[in-house]
Amino acid sequence: MTDVSPRHRAVKHRAPRARPRYTSRHALAAAAIGGVLVTGGVVGAQALGGSSTAPADAAAGEVPVASRLTVDGDVSRSADRAPLSAVEEAAEIARSSAEKADQDEADQAAAEKKKAAEQQKKDDAAAAEKQKIEEARSNPKAVARQLMPEYGFDASQFSCLDSLWAGESDWDYTATNPSSGAYGIPQSLPATKMATAGDDWQTNPITQIRWGLQYISEAYGTPCAANTFKAGNNFY
């Protein structure tokens, strides 16, 4: 009988474990995973280090799995972005066109408003001038009083002016001398002389009065001097 020491008795002998058996399917899967990890590491190292060295399978003309995924992903994303870019560009063009149309419309409205304002201003001025002419026709003496200071005549000269033109035309802007053709309030001879004061000399008493006051100032100096001359010569 073999003597077994206590140390040997305490140790239980265990049967050796059977090693796992790998099938060909397991081997292929492991190889594929290893290839992806290695390829990914190479691609990552190239991206970080700027290396131009390609993996062995890429050199052999086959794109690595990781690279194919990246390329396919980029192509897919680019394809997805292209329609969005086109849509965005079309939207930008439409927005710009709408803004330009709005600006053109605003500019046109502003131009029309300005034109209308200018026309209204002209119409108002024409209406005011017409009103002044009507007032002058009904009261030419009042107009003469207002205009005399412009020609250097004070109020004391009005009585002489009144006497002078009352005898010439009775302050009628349409008065016409049948024999000489003298015309208007100051009885201009020829009548067309008054055109130097305005083209409306035939119908506007104000134009006639301005011409008459200028003529008296240049020819006689004052209405009283002109009236005195007329008293002795029957004309002035």
Instruction: Report the distance separating Cα 54 and Cα 60, nearest Å.
Output: 10
Domain end among 115, 138, 161: 138
Q: What is the pLDDT of residue 175?
A: 98
Residue-wise pLDDT for 168-205, tens only, equals 999 999 999 999 999 999 999 999 999 999 999 999 99
How high is the pLDDT of residue 11?
A: 47
User: Does 223 score more than 50 pLDDT?
Assistant: yes
Q: Is residue 50 one of the residues assigned to a domain?
A: no
Select from 92, 107, 138 the last residue of a domain: 138
Is the pLDDT assigned to residue 17 strictly greater than 80?
A: no
Residue 203 lies in a domain: yes
Whether the CB-CB separation of 174 and 185 falls below 8 Å is answered with: no
The confidence band for 84, taking pLDDT boundaries of 50, 70 and 90, is low
More confident residue, 107 or 88: 107
Is 115 among the domain residues? yes
Asked if residue 26 belongs to a domain, the reply is: no
Name the residue with higher pLDDT: 148 or 94.
148
Query: Pick from 138, 159, 188: which residue ends a domain?
Result: 138
Residue 25 has pLDDT above 90, yes or no: no
Q: Are the C-beta atoms of 184 and 175 separated by less than 8 Å? A: yes
* Residue 31, in any domain of the structure: no
Specify the number of domains making up the chain.
2
88/145 same-domain check: no
Residue-number span of the structural domain to which 227 is assigned? 141-233
